[in-house]
Amino acid sequence: MKRQQFQHPYLPYLLVAPQLAIILVFFVWPAAQAVYQSFRLEDPLMGIGEFVWFDNYASVFDDRQYAVSFVFTIIFSTLVAFFSMAIALLLAVKADGILHGESAYKVLLTWVYAVAPAVAGIIGTFLFTRNIGPLYNLLVSTGWTFNPQVNVFDASFTVILVSVWKQVSVNFIYFLAGLQGIPVAVREAAKIDCKSELRRFWTITLPLLAPTGFFVLVINVTYAFFDTFGVIDTMTRGAPAGGTSTLVYKVYQDGFLGLDLGGSSAQSVILMILVLVLTAVQFRFLERKIQY
């Protein structure tokens, strides 16, 4: 906080009032409702309900589909984060060192940031459509009996590829900024001391890029958990057999399409706890970052 501050009887309240009102109505209240609903069994048709303690949680953990969704979410997030970060890092390192055309590359590698995941999913669906899609034809020509409608592996492949495609640009922007933030003196010294470009990357650049890398990792996990909803809804709808349903997609399917309010709320609360744990981890690391 500032050392110098204003004092005024009502102005500050007036200034925070719009923000506070919206947050109370559209954030605090719904979040509290989710917790409340997760302990109740509601019959949406009859309009009656009862308090059932942890029954909803118990049935969520008993649900084999939930386990499937949980495992898929972990694998999906790991692969999406890994590949989109790896590709972006390679491109950022090359774009940082390039002598000609840096600004053109920057524009051509960042615009995908603005494409909606749902739109990416729709274009992806076309590329993978039987007979007309170039990617479908390419995969089949390698002898792969590619059938995402039936095969979970094939379906996962399509949503992962599209999700990676969509995320490379954001990661590229952060990595490039991180690389360009490394002081010139350090780079020059490294160049003199270490001739091998590859070794210089592993021993100097990468450790200096670690704070950026960690921040990007957090963004990517959040993206894979929540923002890929549009990709999954337009491409697979969680099919086949819930094999490509992320935890967020399952909350939507069970609650909004399946009308299982208690179960869906219990899943929401579990997700909230997961996010809180992730945030706590993030803060611990951020504290370390400051000591750098």
Partner 1 sequence: MKKKNQILDHLILMAGVLFLLLPVWIAFVSSTHRPEVILGQGLQFWFGDYFWETYSAVLFDGTGFTGKVNALLMLGNSMILGLGFSIGKILISTIAAYAIVYFRFPAGGMIFWIIFSSLLLPLEVRIIPSYEVVAQMGLLNSYTGLILPLIASATATFFFRQFYKSVPEELLESARIDGAGPYRFFVDILMPLSTTMIAAIFIIMFVVGWNQYLWPILMTTDESYYTIVMGIKNILNDLEGNNVPEYNKALALAVLALLPPVLVVVVLQRWFVKGLVETEK
User: Phi then psi for 105, rounded to 5 degrees?
Assistant: -60, -40
Is there binding between residue 215 and partner 1 (CB under 8 A)? yes
Q: How many Cβ atoms from other residues are within 10 Å of residue 183's Cβ?
A: 9
**DSSP for 113-128?**
GGS-HHHHHHHHHHHT
Q: What is the dihedral of CA 65, 254, 160, 227, to 10 degrees?
A: -140
Is there binding between residue 218 and partner 1 (CB under 8 A)? no
Is there binding between residue 252 and partner 1 (CB under 8 A)? yes
Is there binding between residue 264 and partner 1 (CB under 8 A)? yes
Q: Which tokens in the block code for residue 64?
A: 């084999």
For residue 194, the Cα-to-chain-centroid distance in whole angstroms is 37
CA–CA distances in Å: residue 287 to residues 2, 133, 220, 292: 21, 48, 20, 9
Number of residues that bind partner 1 (CB under 8 A): 94
**Residue with Cβ nearer partner 1 (38 or 156):** 38
Query: Interface with partner 1 by CB under 8 A: which range of 9-17, 51-59, 71-79, 138-146?
Result: 9-17
Query: Interface with partner 1 by CB under 8 A: which range of 49-57, 64-72, 151-159, 221-229?
Result: 221-229
Is there binding between residue 229 and partner 1 (CB under 8 A)? yes
Instruction: Specify the DSSP class assigned to residue 112.
Output: G
Is there binding between residue 4 and partner 1 (CB under 8 A)? yes
Residue 49 pairs in a beta bridge with: 42
* Nearest in space to 278 (alpha carbons), one of 286, 288, 290: 286
Is there binding between residue 258 and partner 1 (CB under 8 A)? no
- What DSSP element (H or E) covers 41? strand 40-43
Per-residue mark of binding to partner 1, 10-49 (x: CB under 8 A)? -xxx-xx-xxx-xxxxxxxxxx-xx--x------------
Is there binding between residue 221 and partner 1 (CB under 8 A)? no
Query: Interface with partner 1 by CB under 8 A: which range of 51-59, 65-73, 75-83, 245-253?
Result: 245-253
Q: Are strands 40-43 and 48-51 parallel, antiparallel or unpaired?
A: antiparallel
Among 5, 142, 145, 196, binds partner 1 (CB under 8 A): 5
Q: Restricting to residues 79-138, which ones interact with partner 1 according to CB under 8 A? A: 87, 90-91, 94-95, 97-101, 105-120, 122-124, 126-127, 131-134, 137
In the bound complex, what is the minimum distance in angstroms from residue 244's beta carbon to partner 1? Answer: 17
* Nearest in space to 153 (alpha carbons), one of 75, 261, 264, 233: 75
**Residue with Cβ nearer partner 1 (77 or 234):** 234
Instruction: Specify the DSSP class assigned to residue 99.
Output: S
Among 85, 170, 209, 266, binds partner 1 (CB under 8 A): 170
